[in-house]
Structure 1
């Protein structure tokens, strides 16, 4: 083979190299699709069919008591103008309040989780005694099921017998018990606090994995040059762990946009904290309006899909610009 390549014209060698690389790339793509095929088939069966039924029911007058006898109503569940009034999910102020609550919860909670996750990862990346034990302990909140942790915090935040009020009153911070999950002034922040407590370890774990992969020579050179650690973090560490943080943010953003369990356990159907998922559940189960609830679920799916696409597009462009620079 080497003799053949050496005897070939110089102009033909790059062509052969490109052909070989293209062939290898095609083989890798084929192998990737082969391994992904079983998962895609299973995902289509498990998630595709219910999703299509949800789309279908959103254009009907289906109710929970009778899903067989339904009639097509077009876009009435989404938006319709009748007798001088707008009706449908998009005309419901409670829906838009749920959209705002979800967006606010997602932005604030994910931002706090990224900040605290980076801080925890930097601490766990340092050398100290008992580091292995501390790393295992930090993961405990993330390992606890969300329903369990939410109920645990609901008890601790209770205004009658909750330990949080008892501690704050003993320290003299508050003079009377506060209904953290019932008072609209505090309920959203209580929910955010519980979510941040539970999912910060997930962000910290991904950030720590990225920190473990960073080359040591650049830090040694920065130490020799006398560069301040804060400057090293923002100029070296943060750009290098940004891809891992992007993965953490997109997973957490998806979870936050479809949040249901932690908010429902802590505040039930309160409009001050109602998310889009809770709104859809209320229409589907409590009001038994499958068509209306399916329309809300479809809108939730579209919002999550658009947010994901926008985040990935902006993140990829930012990484490309950073690489070009």
Structure 2
């Protein structure tokens, strides 16, 4: 066997020191994060476990003495109920529509804020105004705007075919879906744009200039240079908004109350747990919603294949 050279020995020593330093940083990181982690587990872990436990029982809040174990029956009842699948369809529709539109609009706004000359802090503050409004207030505002009695939207767009002063936007499924989606898009697009703006700040301008020198068009530069460089930011923005949209409740509760098949999964959970006091069925639906959220998160992370530790800039 050949003896190690001094260069190899120094490399091994540096690797060992780096490993020791890395382990020390990991221990420090765990020590700093442990208090917050313990609090998070206590605050969120117990309710989750309690919901899972309750989902195995036929348990009505108004009749606590009649509580008995039913196993997976609550899940079977939920998954075989047409109301559940109607709520799932509504939830998926709202999620896909709002997230796709918000991604496009958010990226346009982010590009504008990234290129604009005026003070960026002022512009970002103005853009965030819709997002800063409480969702309940925003929902009531859109309800009144599209209402046949107090609204002004019908008066503004009476020139459109099929629209008059008495048109009821909340009288059908698709029209209700349009208003609900529009209110979500208006409120949360600023959040999406700020996340994408953070991704644009990580794009290497020298690569853009090199692409222009090579004769690439703006669209080619966008596809080949800008979007790949902000892949991590796009994933975070889509993930956060998808998980948030999938749990939509406020706007549906305020605008339609779940009428015309506009009930979402969160709305269905509210009905079972609060209106009907069916703690067992409501807990089973909550667990199903929680599993859906976990699956969505796993699919996004797997599909984008982004190492957030490398993409944090």
Same fold (TM over 0.5): yes
What residue is the counterpart of 1:59 in the other structure? 56
SS at match of 1:61: strand
Distance 1:230 1:136, change over 3 A: same
What residue is the counterpart of 2:248 in the other structure? 259
Q: 1:204 Cα shift? A: 0.5
Q: How many residues align?
A: 305
Whether the 8 Å contact between 1:283 and 1:293 is mirrored in structure 2 is yes
Partner Cα distance (1:116, 1:68) in 2: 53
Partner Cα distance (2:118, 2:10) in 1: 57
Q: 1:221 Cα shift? A: 2.9
Whether the 8 Å contact between 1:97 and 1:271 is mirrored in structure 2 is no
SS at match of 1:70: strand
Partner Cα distance (1:132, 1:35) in 2: 31
Whether the 8 Å contact between 2:61 and 2:277 is mirrored in structure 1 is yes
Aligned alpha-carbon RMSD (Å): 2.3
Are 1:38 and 2:35 counterparts? yes
**Residue number among 248, 264, 268 corresponding to 1:275 in the alignment:** 264
What residue is the counterpart of 1:16 in the other structure? 13
**Residue number among 203, 206, 222 corresponding to 1:214 in the alignment:** 203
Q: 1:172 Cα shift? A: 5.0
- Identify the range of structure 1 (56-65 vs 213-222) with the bigger mean alpha-carbon deviation: 213-222
What residue is the counterpart of 1:70 in the other structure? 67
Whether the 8 Å contact between 1:94 and 1:271 is mirrored in structure 2 is no
Whether the 8 Å contact between 2:88 and 2:264 is mirrored in structure 1 is yes
Are 1:27 and 2:16 counterparts? no
Distance 1:132 1:40, change over 3 A: closer
Q: 1:157 Cα shift? A: 1.1
Q: 1:230 Cα shift? A: 1.9
Q: 1:271 Cα shift? A: 4.9
Q: 1:24 Cα shift? A: 1.8
Partner Cα distance (1:269, 1:219) in 2: 48
What residue is the counterpart of 1:109 in the other structure? 98
Are 1:246 and 2:245 counterparts? no
What residue is the counterpart of 1:83 in the other structure? none
What residue is the counterpart of 1:47 in the other structure? 44
- Identify the range of structure 1 (26-35 vs 46-55) with the bigger mean alpha-carbon deviation: 26-35
For residues 19-62 of structure 1, give each alpha carbon's deviation from its aligned partner in whole angstroms, at most 9, with x where no partner exists: 12221221222122112211111111111111111111111111
**Residue number among 274, 286, 290 corresponding to 2:279 in the alignment:** 290
Consecutive unaligned residues of structure 2, counting only runs of 5 or more, are none
Whether the 8 Å contact between 1:61 and 1:291 is mirrored in structure 2 is yes
Output the TM-score relative to the length of structure 2: 0.90
Whether the 8 Å contact between 2:57 and 2:68 is mirrored in structure 1 is yes
SS at match of 2:204: coil
What residue is the counterpart of 1:162 in the other structure? 151
